[in-house]
Amino acid sequence: MSFLDRHCYILRKTSCIIKREADTSMKQGQLIKVVEKLITICRDSEKAYKSAAEHIKQEHLKNLFLELSAQRSTFIKELEAELSTLGQVAETDSGSVAAAMRITWMDLEANTGGGDGAVLGSVERGEDIAKEAYADALGHALPLRLDTIIRRQAESVVNAHDTVKSMRDSLAA
């Protein structure tokens, strides 16, 4: 899939407007699962960006990663507030095992001479997972308020991915 095709697919997926009838709305349990999954994804991203900032040599990238980590922290708070409106208290887990493994791999690559390119590649792979999770969430019939929040966050995730990919590609050139 070409760069343009991939972006068109994501834009279609994240910008389609779904007419919702009261009877087609997701059940509360399903909504809770969708929101909890995004919270876990954001926790994973927040940690990965912090780790990347520790390993990256270029100061402007370090600052970018710290900003993106803070952004994901904000996303978590927004999603936890929505979870609360659904009657569910957010768990205080530390993220997924898969993300912990990716962060450990990034640490290993960075410490064995992989450099900034390896760190950027690792961050990009994590953002691929985040993009997929947000696209999946937007594939559900969500209440308007939640849909608006997730759609805005998804756009930020795609922008962050594209920025990281562009930087990785420029280092490789």
Q: Is residue 12 part of a domain?
A: no
Domain count of the chain? 1
**By the 8 A CB rule, do 37 and 133 touch?**
yes
Q: Is residue 5 part of a domain?
A: no
User: In this predicted model, what pLDDT tens digit does every residue of 66-84 receive, in sequence order?
Assistant: 999 999 999 999 999 999 9
Report in angstroms the alpha-carbon separations of 122 from 54, 132, 168, 170: 14, 16, 10, 15
Q: Is residue 67 part of a domain?
A: yes
* pLDDT score, position 21: 38
* pLDDT score, position 17: 42
User: In this predicted model, what pLDDT tens digit does every residue of 159-170 receive, in sequence order?
Assistant: 999 999 999 998
- Give the residue-averaged pLDDT of 48-66: 93
CATH number of the domain enclosing 139: 1.20.1260.10
Q: Is residue 74 part of a domain?
A: yes
**By the 8 A CB rule, do 50 and 10 touch?**
no
User: In this predicted model, what pLDDT tens digit does every residue of 88-119 receive, in sequence order?
Assistant: 776 766 555 554 545 454 454 544 456 788 88
Work out the mean pLDDT of the chain and round it to a whole number: 81
pTM, 2 dp: 0.76
**By the 8 A CB rule, do 100 and 42 touch?**
no
Q: Is residue 60 part of a domain?
A: yes
- Range of the structural domain that residue 115 is part of: 27-172
Q: Is residue 8 part of a domain?
A: no
